[in-house]
């Protein structure tokens, strides 16, 4: 089968590799129709996460079941399925409690397993023609319709970033009437905005400095804040206080609550400085959150922070030691939640919101390309050129079929 193989820093190739196959009675074999390239794939691509050459990438996968092991009961050959990026056994101490992001069985090195990802176990990725899915009954979410139909891309996003964006909103306590500030208008930030609105938020601000991404914020029905034009914390506060309806509803002392109740970090350790936007500051978003989240509010950190970062800005950052304004968080009594999304906790009801037409996460997709175009897609997505913001590879399509 053909697959996207990591060859070294900023180099992937589409090569023939050994076919994925059923190796255990609980396995399901899936013929891939769509596989997303994720911002977190770029961490490996750029050499910011140690990863072995020869790794097959791809943790955002969907397709059609080609074969099943003898012990599989729920899933049948021919079913259309989407797979959570976290691979779960379904029955260990963590999976049994719903923390499928921390499965204790499928990764010998730590808690939590995934496809085609450094440190997440020996599982090949799905940027390929075929994918072996361990514990198929646990990990396959059944879908209606057929490959390539008009919900294909919406369903694909159930593998990672739609549930991940939704989880960020959950961590930040977003509910009816909430005020929300999201840092980062990449795919996860935009879907955190989409999710916040689905959950009934009143005001959703999304901070970025790239014009195309700020345009998509408007498409999501949220308010873009351009941090190239000054402190995003002050911009959001000023905007809220300048609104006569917001100000007119405030009671005594309430101007101290002119920030937001819910803050979301959808950037992570590769954040860039407010004052010098071409330089990194891994704590920049944490500083902004400490400024914009009101006393008694909540913050969700969904952007990635790693315990090891060979490309970190200084010795501390290289070891994942990041200085956070803990004093301000503590003084305000802000609850902070963080970590990888347990996709299986959300994917079923998010699928049903898509089926009902209440969620349309695919508005974030910028490019759909055949598998052979992966090297070009990685390069352009990495450089964020030509509007490459979210790419989905289509292994069932031949080159030149669609752009
Ligand atoms: Zn992803
Ligand atoms: Zn488990």
Q: Is residue 399 assigned to a domain?
A: no
Of 304, 306, 4, the residue nearest 125 (C-alpha): 4
Per-residue pLDDT at 317: 84
HSE-CB of 77 using CA atoms within 13 angstroms: 6
Per-residue pLDDT at 107: 97
Neighbours of ion ligand 1 (CB under 5 A): 38, 60, 160
What distance in angstroms lies between residue 303's CA and the mean position of ligand 1's atoms? 11
What distance in angstroms lies between residue 36's CA and the mean position of ligand 1's atoms? 7
156/16 same-domain check: yes
167/251 same-domain check: yes
169/156 same-domain check: no
What distance in angstroms lies between residue 38's CA and the mean position of ligand 1's atoms? 4
The string over 307-343, giving b where at least 16 C-beta atoms fall within 10 Å of a residue's C-beta and e elsewhere, is eebeebbeeebeeeebebeeeebeebebebeebbbbb
Percentage of the chain lying above the pLDDT 90 cut: 85
Contact status, residue 300 vs residue 180, Cβ threshold 8 Å: no
What distance in angstroms lies between residue 37's CA and the mean position of ligand 1's atoms? 7
Per-residue pLDDT at 314: 86
Segment 297-306 shows an average pLDDT of 94
Per-residue pLDDT at 59: 98
172/147 same-domain check: no
Q: Is residue 42 assigned to a domain?
A: yes
Dihedral sign (CA 391, 395, 396, 399) = positive
What distance in angstroms lies between residue 186's CA and the mean position of ligand 1's atoms? 12
What distance in angstroms lies between residue 45's CA and the mean position of ligand 1's atoms? 13
Rounded CA-CA distance 133/23 in Å is 10
What distance in angstroms lies between residue 141's CA and the mean position of ligand 2's atoms? 17
Contact status, residue 286 vs residue 325, Cβ threshold 8 Å: yes
348/289 same-domain check: no
Rounded CA-CA distance 6/37 in Å is 13
CATH number at residue 259: 3.40.50.720
- Band of residue 312 on the pLDDT scale cut at 50, 70, 90: confident
30/155 same-domain check: yes
What distance in angstroms lies between residue 244's CA and the mean position of ligand 1's atoms? 40
Segment 345-352 shows an average pLDDT of 98
Q: Is residue 204 assigned to a domain?
A: yes
140-190 confidence digits (pLDDT tens): 999 999 999 999 999 999 999 999 999 999 999 999 999 999 999 999 999
115/168 same-domain check: no
**Range of lowest pLDDT (81-90, 256-265, 382-391):** 382-391
What distance in angstroms lies between residue 187's CA and the mean position of ligand 1's atoms? 9
Last residue of a domain, one of 317, 338, 359: 338
For residue 138, give the ligand nearest its CA. 2
Rounded CA-CA distance 33/52 in Å is 26
CATH number at residue 146: 3.90.180.10
Per-residue pLDDT at 400: 58
For residue 59, give the ligand nearest its CA. 1
Q: Is residue 400 assigned to a domain?
A: no
For residue 160, give the ligand nearest its CA. 1
- Residue 79 CB neighbours (<10 A): 18
Which residues, 6 or more positions from 214, have their beta carbon under 8 angstroms from its beta carbon? 185, 206, 208, 224, 226
106/208 same-domain check: no
Q: Is residue 101 assigned to a domain?
A: yes
Last residue of a domain, one of 338, 359, 376: 338
CA distances from 30 to 114, 343, 370 (A): 16, 19, 17
Residue 96 has pLDDT above 90, yes or no: yes
For residue 102, give the ligand nearest its CA. 2
What distance in angstroms lies between residue 120's CA and the mean position of ligand 2's atoms? 13
115/207 same-domain check: no
What is the domain range of residue 24? Answer: 2-160+342-394
327/357 same-domain check: no
- The mean of the pLDDT values for the chain is 95
Per-residue pLDDT at 403: 44
Rounded CA-CA distance 163/36 in Å is 14
312/183 same-domain check: yes
Rounded CA-CA distance 187/162 in Å is 9
Rounded CA-CA distance 335/322 in Å is 18
| Overall number of domains in the chain | 2
Q: Is residue 367 assigned to a domain?
A: yes
For residue 187, give the ligand nearest its CA. 1
What distance in angstroms lies between residue 42's CA and the mean position of ligand 1's atoms? 10
Residue 308 has pLDDT above 90, yes or no: no
Percentage of the chain lying above the pLDDT 70 cut: 99
Rounded CA-CA distance 237/226 in Å is 14
For residue 127, give the ligand nearest its CA. 1
Per-residue pLDDT at 401: 53
What distance in angstroms lies between residue 176's CA and the mean position of ligand 2's atoms? 33
What distance in angstroms lies between residue 378's CA and the mean position of ligand 1's atoms? 14
Note the Cα 386 to chain centre separation in Å.
Answer: 21
Residue 342 has pLDDT above 70, yes or no: yes
Q: Is residue 383 assigned to a domain?
A: yes
Residue 31 has pLDDT above 80, yes or no: yes
Segment 240-250 shows an average pLDDT of 96
228/256 same-domain check: yes
Per-residue pLDDT at 62: 98
For residue 156, give the ligand nearest its CA. 1
Per-residue pLDDT at 48: 78
């Amino acid at each position: 089968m053909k697959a996207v193989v990591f060859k070294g820093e900023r180099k992937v190739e589409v090569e023939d590799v050994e076919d994925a196959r059923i190796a255990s009675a609980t396995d399901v074999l899936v013929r891939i129709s769509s596989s997303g390239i994720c911002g977190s794939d770029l961490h490996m691509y750029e050499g910011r996460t140690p990863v072995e050459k020869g790794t097959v990438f791809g943790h955002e996968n969907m397709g059609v079941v080609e074969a099943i092991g003898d012990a599989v009961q729920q899933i049948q050959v021919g079913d259309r399925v989407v797979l959570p990026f976290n691979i779960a056994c379904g029955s260990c101490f963590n999976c049994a409690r719903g923390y499928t992001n921390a499965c204790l069985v499928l990764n010998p090195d730590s808690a939590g397993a995934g496809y085609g990802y450094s440190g997440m176990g020996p599982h090949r990725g799905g940027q390929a023609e075929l994918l072996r899915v361990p514990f198929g009954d646990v990990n396959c979410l059944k879908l209606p319709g057929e490959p390539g139909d008009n919900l294909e891309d919406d369903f694909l996003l159930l593998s990672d970033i739609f549930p991940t964006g939704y989880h960020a909103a959950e961590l930040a306590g977003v509910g009816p009437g909430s005020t929300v500030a999201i840092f980062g208008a990449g795919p996860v930030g935009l879907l955190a905005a989409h999710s916040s609105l689905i959950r009934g938020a009143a005001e959703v601000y999304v901070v970025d400095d790239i014009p195309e991404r700020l345009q998509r914020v408007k498409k999501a029905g949220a308010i873009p804040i351009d941090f190239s034009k000054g402190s995003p914390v002050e911009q959001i506060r000023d905007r809220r206080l300048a609104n006569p309806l917001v100000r007119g509803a405030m009671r005594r002392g309430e101007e101290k609550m002119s920030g937001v109740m819910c803050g979301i970090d959808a950037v992570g350790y590769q954040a860039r400085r407010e004052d010098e936007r071409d330089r990194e500051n891994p704590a920049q978003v944490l500083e902004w959150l400490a400024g914009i989240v009101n006393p008694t509010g909540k913050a969700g950190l969904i952007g990635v922070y790693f315990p090891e970062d060979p490309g970190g800005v200084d010795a501390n950052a290289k070891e994942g030691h990041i200085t956070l304004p803990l004093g301000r968080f503590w003084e305000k009594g802000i609850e902070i939640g963080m970590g990888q999304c347990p996709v299986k906790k959300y994917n079923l009801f998010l699928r049903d919101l898509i089926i009902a037409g209440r969620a349309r996460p695919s508005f974030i997709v910028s490019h759909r390309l055949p598998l052979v175009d992966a090297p070009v897609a990685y390069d352009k997505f990495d450089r964020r050129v030509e509007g490459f913001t979210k790419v989905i590879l289509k292994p069932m399509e031949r080159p030149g079929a669609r752009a």
